[in-house]
Structure 1
Amino acid sequence: MKLALVGIGKIARDQHVPALAGSPDWELAATVSRSGKVEKVQDFLRIEDMLQARPDIETVSLCLPPVPRFAAAEAAIRAGRHVMLEKPPGATLSEVHELKRLAERQGVSLFATWHSRMAEAVAPAKSHLSGQRILGGRITWREDVRKWHPGQEWIFNAGGMGVFDPGINALSILTEILPDPVHLAWAELDFPKNRQAPIAARLAFSSNIEADFDFRQEGPQTWDMEFETGTGTLALRMGGNVLEIDGARVGGADSIMGEYPALYARMAGLVRDGASDVDLSPMVLAADAFTLGRRNSVEPFEF
């Protein structure tokens, strides 16, 4: 199946392009970007031009930042194309609900992706926790924004989500593996004085689960979550790719490179089945943090 990739930035080059190159389901037939290209692939500056010139391309994958993504997704869906959304699926919940309604009317598939749910140890962790009582948990999600988003000013603009851009990956795993839903009870967000999105956040959920998100980590990066249950402990390391039970490693992989191939395999299945997958539960928790959270003003941040 032919696919167009929109937004050729770091995440597209690091993850989407390699995943598509190795996919048995997809052919990368076109790109849309103001600055990036993929060798030997037809490129366009505007999505409208691609949609008009390439009616043979049935699916569009959007890697744009959240704020401009809605307009591109709307154009693709109105043109009768299936759409895959990079996380978070939009800048607001209401716009993603509108895309879902529009996709249903147009009879096309819409996939709001959460790549961390495809990490190697997430499904085994979900199975292990099924039916268990969660006594408490701790999420530590700390990474270096300069490494993962070099010079990307949009991430600290309004709608860019700041530290919740990676933090929502943790929330996507949390909402996938727990046997019962949780809700946000308390939050504290640190906003640099010169920015419109937080650089760090501390959260508390029901079931005695706490989270620590920080974009200022240097050295080794930390993407861990640990849970206490009635029968012992469970931990996920490396963003959900390594599973530990009672302190012993029992499975997983030492790489995150399997996540995006799994997303594209899932998208292929949705298109073939005429189905959609738009789970917004991670984004609901992130939105609750912005609504409920106490805001602290911290030192300015520059790339």
Structure 2
Amino acid sequence: MVARDYYKILKVNRDATDEELKNAYKRLTMQCHPDNNHHQCPLRKQEFEAKFNKITEAYAVLSDPKKRQIYDLYGHYPINLKKSGDGDVGNNLNEDEDSGVVVIRLECTLVELYKGCRKKLKILRTVLDEFGNLKTVEEILKIDVKPGWKKGTKITFPGKGNVEPGATAADLIFVVDERPHGIFKRYGNDLVVTQKILLLDALVGTTLNLTALDGRDITFEVTDIVKPGYEMVVPNEGMPLSKDPSKKGNLIFKFDVMFPSRLTTQQEHDLKRILSDADR
């Protein structure tokens, strides 16, 4: 593992005071915060997020006397998490000294939360050897993500956090986070799709083709007139229920009707005639 130089990331000397660390952190986060930069450089948002996360991680360690001491001795501060196999894990780490836990974001795609999956995570953690000295060990943790799990679901590994002299090992808790999907938006157990349709199709009906999260190609018939605010609800095509995956929420279509940019004189005449007859 290549250790990060936290002092270099924060652009301070190794003997920096708490005040110097705090000032450096404030200055750098203002410069690199994604919300302050992505409007000017939207394609570099991921780059700013990565820099911001490194700065936050460095300050979280160096601003804590115990963590800084371990970092200065060993060149890194576990827990460090890597991807192993088919699993992704977020890099946000929050250690709660009072409750004795380490909380880490577990990023999942909507497909993974729909179908379920197994994630294998390699962790490096600090433990005590037989002589009472700190050492770093590597372990592989397996998490079976169940179909229907929601954002905020917690998976606890008791005693799998770091160990410090005179203290018991902290619990390691993964909290599920949901990666945005390009087509579907999730609301509880329901899935929502915003579908663009032509004005003609909104009036006379159309057929919608959609690839479900499990890869199925499914077809839906729109037979009602699509009025402003109209939604088409398809039962049992939403997210699986975590307590009973055989049942699912709803799939909800919202519509964005595309109007023509202009009409010819003849089209205007025909529309007036047709719509006038429809109102009778």
TM over 0.5, yes or no? Answer: no
User: For the superposition of Structure 1 and Structure 2, which TM-score range results when normalised by the shorter chain?
Assistant: under 0.3
More helix by share: 1
TM-score (norm 2): 0.24
Larger Cα-atom Rg:
2
Greater relative CO, 1 or 2 (CA 8 Å, sep 6+): 1
TM-score (norm 1): 0.23
